[in-house]
Amino acid sequence: MMRCSPLNVVFLAFAIVSATGISGKAESYKPDWESLKKHTVPEWFRDAKFGIYTHWGPVTVGAEDGPGGVQWYGRNMYMTNSPTFEYHRKRFGDQHKVGYKDIVGLFKAERFNAEAWAELFAAAGAKFAGPVAIHHDNFAMWNSALTEWDSMDKSPKRDFTGELEKAIRKRGMKFIATFHHAFAWRYFEPALKFDAADGKYAGLYCEPRKPGSPPSKKYMEKWLGMVNEVVDKYKPDLTWFDFGLRSVITPEYQRRMFADYYNWAAKHGRKVGVAHKHRDIHQHTGILDFERGREDRLTPYPWLTDTSVGPWFHQKSSSFKTVNDLVDVLVDIVSKNGCMLLNVGPQADGAIPDRGKQSLRGIGAWLKVNGEAIYNTRPWLTFGEGPTSNTGGGFSENKDRPYTSQDIRFTRSKDGKTLYVICLGWPEDPLTIQSFRIADAGSDARVRLLGHEGRVGYSVNDQKQLIIQVPKLTPEQRPCEHAFAFRLTGFEIAMHPSARFYMPGVIRVAPEKVTLEGTKVRVQDVGGRPNIGAWDNADERTHWLVWFREAGTYAVRGEFSSAYGPSGLKTTLINQTHSSPIPRTNGWFKPVFVNLGQFKVDKPGVHLLTLEPADTRKWKAVNVWQLQLIRVK
617 and 532 assigned to the same domain: yes
- Same-domain status, 554 and 608: yes
In a domain, 326, yes or no: no
Does the residue 340 lie in any domain? no
399 found inside a domain: yes
Whether the predicted pLDDT of 99 surpasses 70: yes
Q: Answer with the one of 106, 123, 138 that is the final residue of a domain.
A: 106
Least confidently predicted of 25-29, 210-214, 425-429, 546-550: 25-29
Domain boundary residue, one of 55, 89, 106 = 106
- Position 68 scores a pLDDT of 85
% of the chain surpassing 70 pLDDT:
96
290-344: pLDDT as tens digits = 999 999 999 999 999 999 999 999 999 999 999 999 999 999 999 999 999 999 9
* Residue, of 498 and 29, whose pLDDT is higher: 29
Average pLDDT for 377-390: 93
User: Do the bridges between strand 50-54 and strand 128-134 make them parallel or antiparallel, or are there none, so unpaired?
Assistant: parallel
CA distance 56 to 348: 7
Do 390 and 470 fall within a single domain? yes
Residues in CB range of 541: below 8 A, 6 or more apart: 517, 518, 610, 611, 612
* Higher pLDDT, residue 11 or 611: 611
- In this structure, are 282 and 404 located in the same domain? no
Mean pLDDT throughout 203-222?
97
pLDDT for residue 526: 81
**Are residue 607 and residue 537 in the same domain, yes or no?**
yes
Whether 163 has a pLDDT exceeding 50, the answer reads yes
Q: Do 9 and 73 reside in the same domain of the chain?
A: no
For residue 389, the model assigns a pLDDT of: 84
The 10 Å Cβ neighbour count of residue 31 is: 19
Contact partners, residue 295, CB within 8 Å, separation at least 6: 303, 336, 337, 338, 392
Could you tell me if 216 and 267 lie in one domain? yes
Single-letter residue type at 349: D
Q: Look at residue 27 in the predicted model and tell me its pLDDT.
A: 57
Span 350-364, pLDDT tens digits: 999 999 999 999 999
pLDDT for 23: 52
122 is a domain residue: yes
What are the E-state strand segments in 450-514?
A: 457-460, 466-469, 484-495, 507-509
Regarding whether 581 and 514 lie in a shared domain, the answer is yes
Average pLDDT over residues 410-437: 96
Across residues 236-264, what is the average pLDDT?
A: 98
Is 354 a domain residue? no
Structural domain containing residue 70: 63-106
The yes-or-no verdict on residue 10 having pLDDT over 50 is: no
CATH of the domain at 397: 2.60.40.1180
Residues 13 and 134 in one domain: yes
In a domain, 32, yes or no: yes
82 and 194 housed in the same domain = no
pLDDT at 403 over 50: yes
What confidence tens digit (pLDDT) does each residue in 55-70 have? 999 999 999 999 988 9
Report the b/e string of 565-578 with b at 16+ CB within 10 A: bebbbbbbbeeeeb
Q: Same domain for 24 and 152? A: yes
- Asked if the model's pLDDT at residue 286 lies above 70, the reply is yes
Count of domains observed in the chain: 4
Q: Which of 495, 468, 623 is nearest to 561 (CA)?
A: 623
In a domain, 366, yes or no: no
Identify the pLDDT of residue 503.
81
